[in-house]
Amino acid sequence: MLTVALDAVTTAALLFIISSGLLIVFGVMKIINFAHAAFVTVGGYAALVGAWLGLPWLLVLPLAFAAGAVCGGLTEAIIVRRLYQRPLDAILATWGLGIVIGQLVTLVFGREVQFVQAPITGTVDLGSLDYSAYRLVMIAAAVVVAVVFTGLLGGTRLGLSTRAVIMNEMLAQGLGVNSARVRLVTFAIGSGLAALSGALITPLSSVDPNMGLPWLISAFMLVMVSGGSLLALAVSCLVLGGCQVIVSTFVNPILGGLTIAILAAIVLRIRPEGFARA
């Protein structure tokens, strides 16, 4: 029972880390970045390269973030910026970018599945059971992401501008907020977070050119359900991620993989504001 509970919390932590970058982009730009999965993949390969070079894990993480942020910044400047008036086209263009990144990764690294050794191996003795130490680290990572995020939004000038743009972009522009810069930085941070999450999950799964895709739908639905609020995202990850673990454990894993998408769709149908005002 305790294992299931721990699985639920660590899964929620993983989901939160992956979705938070998508959420901030959705909040500011009202678009869904379909290249998010590709940036997760970029982070995974950054971790792989880091492992090859023998870099310490704590150095690999910021490098992965930086790689994602650079990709994201370029994407915003070259592609997304021109499509703000056409949100559905922005979806398509970022999807196209996802294909391009996936194929480039394949051309460079090959198609095969590769593995990265976890920086922290072994298990933690929790009295009645032993639990994977690295999975527990994920909870800490999610808390760090949430705290840094809240701190950035609440405690910095950029965060203030960002919140202003989220609430009312026209008004923010009128008050002298450079919303183009806010968008650029937001997109870069969102993509950086995607890559960071990619680097974090690689020791748990494996690295391949499509590694980001399985997470994508769940992340999309979580963001839709939480409607742009970080707190609601955390709640959604815990509730829906918990359901996923329960279904995977007691019913079957394939159905488990669909739990989040299906439950979120039903929640949104019955309660269109989702968990945003829960």
Which spans of this chain sit near another protein (rule: CB under 8 A)? 30-32, 79, 82-83, 86-89, 91-93, 95-100, 102-104, 106-107, 217, 220-221, 224, 252, 254-255, 257-258, 261-262, 265-266, 268-269, 272
Q: Which is nearer to another protein, 24 or 224 (CB)?
A: 224
Q: Which is nearer to another protein, 157 or 277 (CB)?
A: 277
Q: Which is nearer to another protein, 160 or 261 (CB)?
A: 261
CB of 203 to another protein, least distance (A): 26
CB of 104 to another protein, least distance (A): 7
Q: Which is nearer to another protein, 110 or 151 (CB)?
A: 110
Classify residue 277 by burial, with Cβ atoms within 10 Å: 0-12, 13-18, 19+.
Answer: exposed
Alpha carbons 204 and 134: distance in angstroms, whole number: 8
CB of 122 to another protein, least distance (A): 33
Q: Which of 162, 191, 217, 208 is nearest to 74 (CA)?
A: 191
**At 177, phi and psi to the nearest 5?**
-80, 130
Alpha carbons 271 and 278: distance in angstroms, whole number: 10
Which helix (H) or strand (E) element contains residue 131? strand 130-132
Q: Which is nearer to another protein, 140 or 265 (CB)?
A: 265
CB of 35 to another protein, least distance (A): 10
Max CA separation in the chain (angstroms): 60
CB of 130 to another protein, least distance (A): 31
Both tokens assigned to 154: 């609440």
